[in-house]
Structure 1
Amino acid sequence: MTRANGVPEWLRPLLDRLGTARVEDFTRLPTPPEGGRASAVLVLLGEQHGEPDVLMLQRAETLRTHAGQPAFPGGASDPGDADAAATALREAEEEVGLAPASVTVLAQLPQLWIPVSDFVVTPVLAWWHAPHEVHPRAPEEVARVARLPVAELVDPANRLQVRHPSGWVGPAFQVRGMLVWGFTAGVLSALLEMAGWARPWPRDRIAELPVSTPQPAPAAGTDVG
């Protein structure tokens, strides 16, 4: 069932809730009033066989930062980008071959600060109204692209927390061979709660990240110490 504009009804609760979304819904860290490098990520929701999913990529193991880590498509803003949505769509096209015309931008979430890299990230929520094949366009940067079903993301068997050697603890998802954690998992966790899709899951299930794991980017549900 869809609205007149083609956006599915299952997205309505999330869109309604995002109208009052605040930084505090996603992170305990306030966004600085100025400074930080502007960037954006694309939270692209689609549908397969009547079931919602989200587009995710896995970074190449050879990268100097965030090697092997799942993430939303996205990156730093360019001077020619009109806004955060333009940044997110451009990066998604460069990374996985996403056609911008296949996407309906729905909302820009609050700007979130990542202190470890000093990025100020705007998550851009979008509906994939005309899905098509996507793949890593630069294998040296992107190892894999996947559409992760929301039903599997909210399955309690696939949810856990991870602990970084620094003491940071935050939500994570173990889905289809991907361990999604850090900033990406924090944003996902918050959106699932806002949409009313989340299910109770065992918060005491904690996995230790390897000592060599890069410093995480805090987001919703995280703790330090």
Structure 2
Amino acid sequence: MPVEEDSSGYRWRDAPADQLRSEVAEGLGRFSRRTADPSGRKAAAVLIAIADRAGEQGIWLTERSPGLRAHAGQLALPGGKLDPGEDAEAAALRELEEELGITAPRSTVLGLLDDYPTRSGYVITPVVAWIGDAPAPTPNPAEVAVVHWIPIPDLDVDPLFVAVPGSDRLAIQLPLLGGHLHAPTAAILYQFREVALRGRPTRVDHMDQPRFAWE
């Protein structure tokens, strides 16, 4: 089956898994990521875990449990605060296991995106890993209410940039799952699309978040 190519030059619709993995790794390898000084914020990591389901590559998004003290009910990538002595890669993989019951070795990590400082007091390091064949997630109900499967092509959507009351910066939204995904997750997935899939060194750490995510 021929591989379709869109106007940006990124071939994704029918790319075999090994080609997609190679393109993602190359895009991340060319990218010069920016780090952020915590400046009193807590270090955290999230995982963009590219997995295979019946021959289709995609990622998992979680809907956070309503019982959580912070950001309950919001859509998020698997992730959380770094434990003492952890780096971002170790923390992201640990959170994947704790939240979704999926274990992946450090060798699955393909690279990192820019640190993203949040309004709620964190500096998030996005980690990208190629999980490949994986069992179905078994979500931890204390942390995860719902798990959503997002095929890679569904990330190739046009973002929306919207004003935020009380801010001089725009926030980003991604049309996904019948609604709009908000920052920080929307910003991180947009940068993943741009850097890893389209080979564009796009920055997102200047993008704001909606007011409900400030606390």
What residue number does 1:37 align with? 42
Which 5+ residue runs of structure 2 have no aligned equivalent?
1-16, 200-209
What residue number does 1:3 align with? none
How far, CA to CA, are the matches of 1:105 and 1:163 in structure 2?
35
CA contact (8 A) 1:103 1:129 kept: no
Q: Residues 1-225 of structure 1 correspond to what in structure 2 (within 5 A)?
A: 8-23=18-33, 31-32=36-37, 35-81=40-86, 83-101=87-105, 104-114=108-118, 116-137=119-140, 139-156=141-158, 159-167=159-167, 169-177=170-178, 179-197=180-198, 213-215=212-214
- The 3 A distance-change label for structure 1 pair 69 and 148 is same
What residue number does 1:202 align with? none
Q: Which amino acid aligns with 2:170?
A: V
- The 3 A distance-change label for structure 1 pair 103 and 49 is farther
CA contact (8 A) 1:23 1:112 kept: no
Q: TM-score, normalised by structure 2?
A: 0.73
CA contact (8 A) 2:111 2:128 kept: yes
CA contact (8 A) 2:64 2:73 kept: yes
Alignment size in residue pairs: 190
How far, CA to CA, are the matches of 1:166 and 1:103 in structure 2?
43
Over the matched positions of the two proteins, sequence identity in percent amounts to: 34
RMSD of aligned Cα (Å): 3.1
- The 3 A distance-change label for structure 1 pair 176 and 155 is same
- The 3 A distance-change label for structure 1 pair 103 and 72 is farther
How far, CA to CA, are the matches of 1:113 and 1:103 in structure 2?
27
How far, CA to CA, are the matches of 1:142 and 1:196 in structure 2?
28
Shift of 1:35: 4.6
Which 5+ residue runs of structure 1 have no aligned equivalent?
1-6, 25-29, 199-208, 217-225
What residue number does 2:4 align with? none
What residue number does 2:204 align with? none
SS of match in other structure, 1:10: helix
SS of match in other structure, 1:86: helix
Shift of 1:43: 0.9
Shift of 1:40: 1.1
SS of match in other structure, 2:72: coil
How far, CA to CA, are the matches of 1:194 and 1:133 in structure 2?
28
Shift of 1:121: 1.9
Q: TM-score, normalised by structure 1?
A: 0.70
How far, CA to CA, are the matches of 1:162 and 1:50 in structure 2?
36
Point out 4+ residue stretches in structure 1 off by more than 4 angstroms: none
